[in-house]
Amino acid sequence: WRGALEGRGGIALVEGPPGIGKTRLSEVFAGEAGRSGGLVLVGRSRDGEGVPAFWLWAQLLRRLREQEVGSEAFAELADAPPELLALVEGTAAGAAADGPASQDLAPQQGRFLLFDAVTRALARVARGRPLLLVLEDVQWAGSASLRLLEHLSFEVGELPILALATVREEVRDPDHPLEKLLPRLRQQPRCERITLRGFSRREVAALLEHAIGRPAPPDLS
């Protein structure tokens, strides 16, 4: 985060098994970043059928629109394909999952221009106030949202933006979009990987001592 405040952003991957504390860690960190002057935007992926392609990013942009600085940033999205804007506005056109980004462009080119428009919108805001993007449970994000995260990862090194993504450790198919994305993110020079593990017996004893005010019996630890 200090790097982001100095204009050298990055990606932080918080990884660990279910229930280990990834969300709680990101919440505490987001509070500290907000108190240090950062603008915190949170998006949460959803598991299940029918989730729109860009639901994760639509949440971030909706929260951005609620901020005073958001109106200028949305000027960057004026010419963007309509699929993401429809989600941000809450209209039915955003419900299509992973359709072509524009009828006038090749799907790949239209999708790239959409990624670039979102990145420019975030960059415009970050020039006035550093951004922390909290992306929860990206293992459930669709391939389109993950590709947008990859696109952003190439740009944040020169922007005051830190993207913090929580990732559940679990067995996934090798062809899962996240399994293809994670190695590419980890190779980025501005990517930090934080892996959470359970406490050791000694750490449990220290926690108990802190809680009860005296050393805990070994059998309790």
pLDDT digits over 117-148, tens only?
A: 889 889 988 988 999 999 999 999 989 899 99
DSSP 8-state code for residue 17: S
Q: What are phi and psi of 164, to 5 degrees?
A: -110, 115
Q: Judge whether 131 and 163 are in contact, CB under 8 Å.
A: no
Residue 18, Ramachandran bin (φ over 0: left; ψ between -120 and 50: alpha; else beta): beta
Q: Judge whether 153 and 183 are in contact, CB under 8 Å.
A: no
pLDDT band at 192 (very low <50, low <70, confident <90, very high): very high
Work out the average pLDDT over 174-180: 90
Q: Judge whether 14 and 25 are in contact, CB under 8 Å.
A: yes
Work out the average pLDDT over 84-110: 54
Q: Judge whether 82 and 126 are in contact, CB under 8 Å.
A: no
pLDDT band at 153 (very low <50, low <70, confident <90, very high): very high
> How high is the mean pLDDT of the chain?
85
What does the alpha-carbon distance between residue 25 and residue 45 come to, in Å, rounded to a whole number? 17
What does the alpha-carbon distance between residue 202 and residue 183 come to, in Å, rounded to a whole number? 33
Work out the average pLDDT over 31-54: 90
DSSP 8-state code for residue 97: S
Q: 116: Cβ–Cβ under 8 A, 6 or more apart, which residues?
A: 151
Work out the average pLDDT over 159-169: 96
Per-residue pLDDT at 98:
40
Q: Judge whether 17 and 168 are in contact, CB under 8 Å.
A: yes
pTM equals 0.82
Q: Is the pLDDT of residue 91 over 60?
A: no
Looking from the CA of 196 toward its CB, the CA atoms found within 13 Å total 19
pLDDT tens string 50-86: 788 788 998 898 888 887 665 666 666 665 556 666 6
Q: 216: Cβ–Cβ under 8 A, 6 or more apart, which residues?
A: 205, 208, 209
Q: 96: Cβ–Cβ under 8 A, 6 or more apart, which residues?
A: 52, 53, 83
